[in-house]
Amino acid sequence: MSDPIVVDRRLPRGGAYPALVELTLARLREFVREPEALFWTFLFPMVMSVAMALAFPSKAMQPVRVGVLTGAAELRQALKADAGIALRDVAPGNELRALREGDVDVIVVPGSPPTYRFDPTREQSRSARLVVDDVLKRAAGRSDPWTAHEDAVQIAGSRYVDWLIPGIVCLGIMNNGMWSIGFMTVQARLRKLLKRLAASPMKKREYLLAQMFARLVFLGPEVAVPLLFGVIAFGMPVNGTVLNIAGVSLVGALMFGAVGLLLGSRVKTIEAISGLMNLFSVPMWVLSGVFFSSSNFPAMTQPVIKVLPLTALVDAMRAVVLEGSTLGAIRGELVIMLSWAVVAFAIALKIFKWR
Amino acid sequence: MTQLAARCQNLRKTYGSVVAVDGLSLDVVRGECFGLLGPNGAGKTTTIEILEGLLVPDAGEVEVLGLRWNRDEHELRQRLGIQLQESQFTDKLTVEETIRMFRSFYDRGRSVDELLALVELESKRSSWVVKLSGGQRQRLSVACALVGDPDMLFLDEPSTGLDPQSRRQLWSVLERFRAGGGTILLTTHYMDEAEVLCDRVAVVDHGKVIALDTPKALVSALGAPKTIVHEGTLEDVFMSLTGRLLRDE
């Protein structure tokens, strides 16, 4: 019997995988060999979540800050006794400044009766006024008909940090997608690598697809790391299934990959692509409800804000992560995202400059 | 009839008011090494890029391997090897990974090992591109041009910036390619390179061919300075044809 013929199916064509695989691998290798890229992808979302959670803790626990003009020992005594009040001395003449700079929420001017000086347009000031008023009246001998039982609960999932983290995950999907693809594309054009590739029989569509596929490989950890961080560090609830979260992330990443490709399709300098990316993404940092609800913006702007790529992704992500929505329930957002992806990719393929 | 590997007739290409190529015609015979000589800005690169199908001429006819760019781009790309001036490969890919990626674009061709041996880069197989010397990068670039086992090779200033050893190594790779029946079209600034490698050269200036023959015939046609100091070289021909003024691009 003759020796069996060994066919090496792993690497056909002179030692190479199919072009789409090789191009994707090349892009991935480039990425993992760039330490800065790893920082931006994985560490940045965590640093951001911690910073935001520290800056905006859940407000229920915070004492109200009350300023008292120097002197007035009796009044001071009464206010100090209450745990919900943080007392500060304010020198006469400095009252308005202390209020303006947010050092205190309300100022009590001694007198009979005392005067509350506060800004009624600020929520904190209004609640501080109520607390102070209650404490002082009780100290003055008011008798209450009854005292209610208080049942303090804190519902995980309704805190700011729970709302914030899915938004930050989306911000990461946007930034990494646009910057990694747009930037690398422009760099390859600058180095005339694109021109060299165009001189080979490489299929141009495959090159562009490979850039997007390479993005998807790291999408898993990129989304999972900040979400797990939220679960472990803040006890954030994740009500959606892994599959649905993955689905939303995938569509979001494809969308921003395509957008990055489109933005980088003709630009010839790093400065120009940076400018273009910022022009496109910075408004969405503000408008798309990552850090504060986009419902704060006027009603007439809402239709526009709703169809922004980042808004669609953030809304879909929060619905899935926090409310456990199914993909069917967020199909509106998915359609918006897929439309962006398809249109951006098609235009990019059409207008892409290889030299 | 001799078979033509490439021919172009009355090529014209302008950039705004600058005429880069001005009615240029060339025939490259199969199996020969053809050199385009000329000072900076003479139109060499524009001409070779038109032949490579990277630029579309404003006017004129181009045929490569009997095929046309507008009809047969896919087949042409499969059968041509191209090296561009100044194109840089990805810094953080290794030599092997780079060749492998290029190999994947071609339906047929040489193996990665074969190419590494051919350009003598086996010892650099796992080095990142960014760590390579200028000569090594150029050899990698030649390897990528040869990866599809092409019928014809286009090289734009292949030995610019190379040290003498690297140049000779490059020349020997090109001679082996020709020994296998391949056709070469190259541009160069170096007269000695043209004398060593090229069967025929065209001197190009202001977008036109101003002389075309074998290096030897060109030298003797100059009526060469028959001095005792040195015999005429192609360098003398070049200077006499294009003048001694410095050309800045």
pLDDT above 90: percentage of residues in chain B:
70
Residue B249 has pLDDT above 80, yes or no: no
The residue-averaged pLDDT of A84-98 equals: 84
Compute the distance between CA of residue B188 and CA of residue B40 in angstroms, rounded to an integer: 10
What pLDDT does B224 receive? 54
B100 touches chain A (CB under 8 A): yes
Nearest CA in chain A to B147: A14
Domain boundary pick from A139, A169, A188: A139
Please tell me which residue, A27 or B1, carries the higher pLDDT value.
A27
- Entry field: residues in chain B: 249
Minimal Cβ distance to B54: which of A13, A199, A201: A199
At residue A190 the predicted structure's pLDDT band, cuts being 50, 70 and 90, is very high
The answer to whether the CB atoms of A192 and B82 lie below 8 A apart is no
From A139, A171, A187, give the residue that closes a domain: A139
Band (pLDDT 50/70/90 cuts) for residue A230 is confident
Closest partner CB to B105 (pick from A30, A188, A200): A200
Q: Give the model's confidence band at A39: pLDDT under 50 very low, under 70 low, under 90 confident, else very high.
A: confident
> What was the pLDDT predicted at A337?
97
CATH at residue A93: 3.40.190.10
Q: What is the CA radius of gyration of chain B?
A: 18
Segment A63-73 mean pLDDT: 82
- The mean pLDDT of B75-102, rounded to a whole number, is 94
Residues A226 and A271 grouped into a single domain: yes
Residues in chain A: 355
For residues A13 and B78, the model is more confident at B78
How high is the pLDDT of residue B236? 74
| Same domain as A271, residue A134 | no
The predicted pLDDT at position A10 comes to 55
Interface test with A, best of B105, B116, B125, B146 (most A CBs within 10 A): B105
pLDDT over 90 for what percent of chain A? 39
Q: Examine the domain organization and report whether A85 and A201 are in the same domain.
A: no
The answer to the question of residue A310 being in a domain is: yes
Residue B13: domain span: 4-242
pLDDT category of residue A226 using cuts at 50, 70 and 90? confident
How far apart are the C-alpha atoms of B159 and A126, rounded to whole Å?
A: 79
pLDDT of residue B239: 74
pLDDT at A207 over 90: yes
pLDDT of residue A1: 44
pLDDT at B223 over 50: yes
CA-CA distance, B46 to B57, in Å (whole number)?
9
Q: Are residues A231 and A324 in the same domain?
A: yes
B36 within some domain: yes
Task: With CA atoms as reference, report the closest residue to B179 among B34, B43, B31.
Answer: B31
Question: pLDDT higher for B232 or B148?
Answer: B148
Q: What integer pLDDT is reported at residue A158 of this predicted model?
A: 73
A190-194, A257-261, B170-174, B220-224: which range is least confident on average?
B220-224
Q: Does A50 touch chain B (CB under 8 A)?
A: no
For residues A50 and A67, membership in a common domain is answered with: no
The verdict on A102 and A200 lying in the same domain is no
> Taking 80 as the threshold, does the pLDDT of residue B248 lie above it?
no
Whether the CB-CB separation of B80 and B64 falls below 8 Å is answered with: yes
Q: Does the distance separating the beta carbons of A193 and B100 come in below 8 Å?
A: no
Residues of A in contact with B53 (CB under 8 A): 199
Closest of A112, A103, A107, A105 to residue A74, by C-alpha: A112
In-domain check, residue B53: yes
* Residue B247 falls inside a structural domain: no
Contact A192 B54 (CB under 8 A): no
Which chain A residues are within 8 Å of B153, Cβ to Cβ? Answer: none
Q: Is residue A145 part of a domain?
A: no
> Mean pLDDT over residues A287-316, rounded?
92
User: Domain of A73?
Assistant: 60-139
Q: Are the beta carbons of A201 and B105 separated by less than 8 Å?
A: yes
- Kindly indicate the confidence band of residue A83, based on its pLDDT and cuts at 50, 70 and 90: confident
Q: Please tell me whether residues A115 and A186 are part of one structural domain.
A: no
Domain with residue B172: its CATH number is: 3.40.50.300
User: Tens of pLDDT along B131-145?
Assistant: 999 889 999 999 999
Chain A partners within 8 Å of B72 (Cβ) = none
Structurally, chain B folds into a number of domains equal to 1
Would A193 be classed as within a structural domain? yes
B249: in domain: no
Looking at residue A319, what is its pLDDT?
94
Are A119 and A262 found together in one domain?
no
pLDDT at B60: 94
What's the complex ipTM? 0.89
Q: Which two tokens stand for residue B69?
A: 């760019």
> Who among B86, B93, B148 is closest to A30 (CB)?
B93
**Contact with chain B for residue A355, Cβ under 8 A:** yes
Q: Do B97 and A13 touch (CB under 8 A)?
A: no
| CB interface of B with A, residues 129-148, below 8 Å | 144, 147-148
Alpha-carbon gap: A210 to the closest alpha carbon of chain B (Å)? 12
- Distance between CA A212 and CA B161 in Å, rounded? 36
Least trusted range by pLDDT, from A5-14, A200-209, B103-112: A5-14
Beta carbons of B87 and A191 less than 8 Å apart = yes
Q: How high is the pLDDT of residue B231?
A: 63
Q: What is the mean pLDDT of chain A?
A: 86
For the stretch B27-77, pLDDT in tens is: 999 999 999 998 888 899 999 999 999 999 999 999 999 999 999 999 999
Residue-wise pLDDT tens digits, A133-173:
888 888 888 888 888 888 776 666 677 888 888 999 999 99
Claim to verify: residue A190 and residue A167 sit in the same structural domain? yes
Do A132 and A164 lie in one domain? The reply is: no
Tell whether the model's pLDDT for residue A78 goes beyond 50: yes
pLDDT at A216: 86
A210 φ, ψ to 5°? -60, -40
* Cα separation, A34 vs A273, whole angstroms: 19
How big is the CA angle at A344 (ends A332 and A268), to the nearest 5 degrees? 150
**Contact pairs from chain A to chain B, CB under 8 Å:** 90
**Residues of chain B contacting residue A201, judged by C-beta atoms under 8 Å apart:** 74, 77-78, 105-107, 148
The answer to whether the CB of B5 falls within 8 A of the CB of B11 is no
- Banded model confidence at residue A93, pLDDT cuts 50, 70, 90: confident
CB–CB of A63/A86 below 8 Å?
A: yes
* Residues A341, A323 within the same domain: yes
Mean pLDDT of chain B: 89
Which region among A40-49, A142-151, A276-285, B71-80 has the lowest average model confidence (pLDDT)? A40-49
pLDDT in the model for residue A54: 77
Q: Which residue has the higher pLDDT, B187 or B39?
A: B187
Residue A306 in any domain: the answer is yes
- Tell me, yes or no, whether A277 and A173 share the same domain: yes
**Predicted confidence band of residue A6 (pLDDT cuts 50, 70, 90):** very low
- Cα separations (Å) of B145 from A50, A286, B156, B172, B174? 51, 49, 12, 15, 11
- 10-39 in chain B: CB under 8 A from chain A: none
